[in-house]
Amino acid sequence: MSEKKSPLWHGRFAEGPDAEAVAFETSIHIDERLAQDDIRGSVAHAGMLGASGIIPGSEAAAIVAELKKIASELETGSLKIDPAAEDIHSFVEGVLTDRLGDAGRKVHTGRSRNDQIALDERLHLRRVVPLMRESIVDLVEALVTIAEGHTETLMPGYTHLQRAQPVTLAHHLAAWCWQLVRDHGRLGDALKRMDFMPLGSGALAGSGLPLDRERVARELGFSALTPNSLDAVSDRDYCIELAADLSILMMHLSRFCEELVIWSTEEFKFVEMSEKWSTGSSIMPQKKNPDYAELIRGRSGMVFGNLVALLTMMKGLPLSYDRDMQDDKTSLFAAWDTAASSLRIFTRMISTASWNEDRMAAACTGGHANATDLADYLVRKGMPFRTAHGVAAAVVRECIEGGIRDMTELPFERMKKHSSLIAEDVYALLSPEACMRARDLPGGPNPERVKAQLAELKGRIAAARAEKQ
């Protein structure tokens, strides 16, 4: 095979790797998405070099102007990234050097690829993480819109996938929303720990040149400098933290999708997925499969795997930089792309779903989901809860043995024999709607309590939108 030397980084070596080895070490196909971030960092660095007198001001100005031109050409597509370049740093610097000659070679003064990539990653993530947070807000808004029309739509709440107690569809969707609110907050917290400017850390020990790190940090909008040069180029915990946050987000989406898959079955039939977000069968003409929900559910495992890959990559590395870390972007960007697409697809899918209110309400009858309410009824009359629990269990047992679907269908004479405290008013209190409305504590399914939750969620949506502006 032919041999190829890197035009910028070969240093002391008289010979370079062969073509297969070059392909093995090349990262341009992964880190090309950092092009604009790499250029932005180089613009700030070059400007600082000129202002600090490290290179002539005229050369710094020429470098900055040419870098901005390269950025514009990449944006319009008139300049294409060379897939043969080793990485995005060498590509940008190579183009700059081709155009400016020795002046272009000065752009790397006082920095290493180690602190350069640490900067590029932070710049990129600070730019895109707010977009993910915005997508989460979009989904919360879509769910709130659906929930507002279903604050009195009865449905069973489940534990162990067994009917437990009556709630409403709005209450259930609000539960999804609060999980997403925490996802939104976690990503916001991750941004805070990315907000440290690493350039000037060099390969690991900083630089002997009078670099003005504060100036670069101000120009790039960082709130602080990385306090330790060795840590700055060794650190990838911000990537791991983001991958963990994305994994939690995907776990939530997967759980939502699992419920949609179950609810769309003929056995439940609570929800009807739009034909746009369903597929048919290659052999069974009647099938309408919730494939998009299943794909999101399945792809959560891919994101979990990306997190494990990052943790495994880093767990045995000594300080500071090791080449293993080049592959952080492979795992991080794969996790990002999967989570971002899953979030967008889920939002569009849930926004077009239709809800079978009659079927959900009917599922609240049968299964004795009102048993706890019978116990509460007896507690309000002075019976100890454990005793009341036993009475309710005995009533349930009698219904089961007698083939009675719901304890409200048990004749009063038979109900009364379980406790002298039971009066005929118990039946009105054991209807699914009464059971739902009785849960009137903050956070409960009572419609007024759910409306309060939705109002708070709408306030958070508005605050998030305002924060973006």
Section 440-465 average pLDDT? 97
Q: Residue 183 and residue 247: Cα distance in Å, rounded? A: 10
Same domain, yes or no, for 334 and 382? no
Mean pLDDT value across residues 18-38: 88
Do 353 and 379 belong together in one domain? no
**In the listed set 55, 84, 109, which residue is the last one of a domain according to the structure?**
109
Residue 10: what pLDDT? Answer: 57
Average pLDDT over residues 31-41: 97
Report pLDDT digits (tens) over 377-425.
999 999 999 999 999 999 999 999 999 999 999 999 999 999 999 999 9
pLDDT of residue 8: 54
Question: Quick check: is 252 catalytic?
Answer: no
Mean of pLDDT values over 64-77: 98
The verdict on residue 28 lying in a domain is yes
pLDDT at 107 over 60: yes
Q: Is the pLDDT of residue 2 over 60?
A: no
Residues 74 and 168 in one domain: no
- Looking at residue 6, its pLDDT comes to 47
**What domain range includes position 375?**
371-430
What pLDDT does 1 receive? 30
Identify the three-state secondary structure at position 410.
coil
Torsion sign across C-alpha atoms 150, 151, 156, 157: positive
DSSP lists the bridge partners of residue 165 as 157
Q: Which domain CATH number covers 396?
A: 1.10.40.30
Residue 208 in any domain: the answer is yes
**CA atoms of 72 and 233, how far apart (whole Å):** 29
| pTM, full prediction | 0.92
pLDDT of res. 282: 82
Residues 310-369 pLDDT 10s: 999 999 999 999 999 999 999 999 999 999 999 999 999 999 999 999 999 999 998 899
Average pLDDT of the chain to the nearest whole number: 94
- Let me know whether 119 and 97 are in one domain: no
Q: How far apart are CA 290 and CA 275, in angstroms?
A: 9
Q: How many domains does the chain have?
A: 3
Asked if residue 308 has pLDDT above 60, the reply is: yes
Strands (E) in 193-340, as ranges, are 196-197, 224-225, 271-272
- Per-residue pLDDT reduced to its tens digit, 159-191: 999 999 999 999 999 999 999 999 999 999 999
Q: Is residue 444 part of a domain?
A: no
pLDDT in tens, 242-272: 999 999 999 999 999 999 999 999 999 999 9
Question: Is there a domain that residue 5 lies in?
Answer: no
Residues with Cβ within 8 Å of 161's Cβ and at least 6 positions away in sequence, in order, are 262
Query: Is residue 469, in this structure, part of any structural domain at all?
Result: no
Is residue 457 one of the residues assigned to a domain?
no
* Percent helix, percent strand, percent coil in the chain, to nearest 5: 65, 5, 30
- Residue 199 and residue 76 share a domain: no
- Per-residue model confidence (pLDDT) at position 19: 77
Indicate if 105 and 118 belong to the same structural domain.
no
In a domain, 330, yes or no: yes
How much is the pLDDT for 20?
A: 81
pLDDT attached to residue 139: 98
56, 88, 109 - which closes a domain: 109
Same-domain check for residues 240 and 381: no
- Work out whether the CA dihedral 189, 459, 182, 136 comes out positive or negative: negative
Residue 459 banded pLDDT, cuts 50, 70, 90: very high
Lowest mean pLDDT across 141-150, 194-203, 287-296:
287-296
We report the CATH number of the domain holding residue 76 as: 1.10.275.10
Which one of 2, 78, 160, 354 is the catalytic residue?
160
Q: Are residues 219 and 353 in the same domain?
A: yes
Q: Are residues 217 and 296 in the same domain?
A: yes
Concerning whether 281 is annotated as a catalytic residue, the answer is yes
Q: Are residues 318 and 395 in the same domain?
A: no
Distances (CA, A) of 357 to 270, 272, 360: 7, 11, 5
Convert the pLDDT of each residue in 194-213 to its tens digit. Answer: 999 999 999 999 999 999 99
Same domain, 233 and 172: yes
pLDDT band for position 11 (cuts 50, 70, 90):
low
Position 13 confidence tier, pLDDT thresholds 50, 70, 90? low
Residue 242 located in a structural domain: yes
DSSP 8-state assignment for residue 370 = T
- The answer to whether 311 and 333 have CB atoms below 8 angstroms apart is no
Out of 58, 72, 223, 281, pick the active-site residue.
281
Give the CA distances from residue 299 to residues 23, 246, 310, in Å, rounded to whole numbers and listed in that order: 28, 12, 17
122 in the same domain as 91:
no
Residue that the structure tokens 């060379």 belong to:
82
Shortest CA distance to 253 belongs to which of 279, 310, 292, 305? 292
Which CATH number characterizes residue 261's domain?
1.20.200.10
Confidence (pLDDT) at 22 = 76
- Predicted pLDDT of residue 4: 39
pLDDT digits (tens, 9 = 90+) for 420-437: 999 999 999 999 999 999
